[in-house]
Amino acid sequence: MASSDALPGPRRPRPLSPHLSVYRLTMTMAMSIVHRITGAALYVGVLLLAWFLIAASADAATFEVFSGFIQSFIGRLVLFGFTWALFHHLIGGIRHIAWDSGYGLDAPLRDQMAWATLIGGFALTIVVWGVGYAVR
């Protein structure tokens, strides 16, 4: 038997990694997941912005197509979601800057900052849309 065929000894069992069922979902975990999702959603929102800019620089018929979409229920829902994703991601980024500086890492403040990210994103979105409809 060749020396490469022989095993060096009895195999030790490999440690098992913790599975997702071991973890309890916390607010900071949820906000981390949502922060990543809103980051991806912002890419879609940039496409919407690019569509607006291209339509605005083109002729009136092209802009009318964009305007018809953005004024529809689906268009406004997408724009509302983009606005929320923008504010949520912004506040989440500020929270991460605070964490990087060593502030807010303790248990009660950490969860309060996560809740503030969620509530603040929705509150700023409602304020901006309220002002937008008021001046409209």
Q: What is the pLDDT of residue 6?
A: 61
Report the percentage of the chain scoring pLDDT > 70: 88
Residue 68 has pLDDT above 70, yes or no: yes
Cα–Cα distance measured from residue 65 to residue 79, given in angstroms and rounded to the nearest whole number: 16
The domain of 90 spans: 26-135
Q: Is residue 117 part of a domain?
A: yes
Q: Is residue 10 part of a domain?
A: no
Q: Is residue 18 part of a domain?
A: no
Q: Is residue 33 part of a domain?
A: yes
Tally of CA atoms within 13 A in the half-sphere of 88 that contains its CB: 25
Residue 29 has pLDDT above 80, yes or no: yes
Q: Is residue 32 part of a domain?
A: yes
Position 4 confidence tier, pLDDT thresholds 50, 70, 90: low
Q: Is residue 64 part of a domain?
A: yes
In the block, tokens 């248990």 appear at 107
Q: Is residue 15 part of a domain?
A: no
Whole-prediction pTM value? 0.79
Q: Is residue 120 part of a domain?
A: yes
Residue 74: which CATH number? 1.20.1300.10
How many domains is the chain partitioned into structurally? 1
User: Which residues, including other chains, have CB under 8 Å from residue 27's CB and lie 6 or more apart?
Assistant: 111, 114, 115
Torsion of CA 66, 72, 73, 74, to 10 degrees: -30
Residue 2 has pLDDT above 70, yes or no: no
For all residues of the chain together, what is the average pLDDT? 90
What phi, psi does 12 have (nearest 5°)?
-85, 145
Residue 23 has pLDDT above 80, yes or no: no
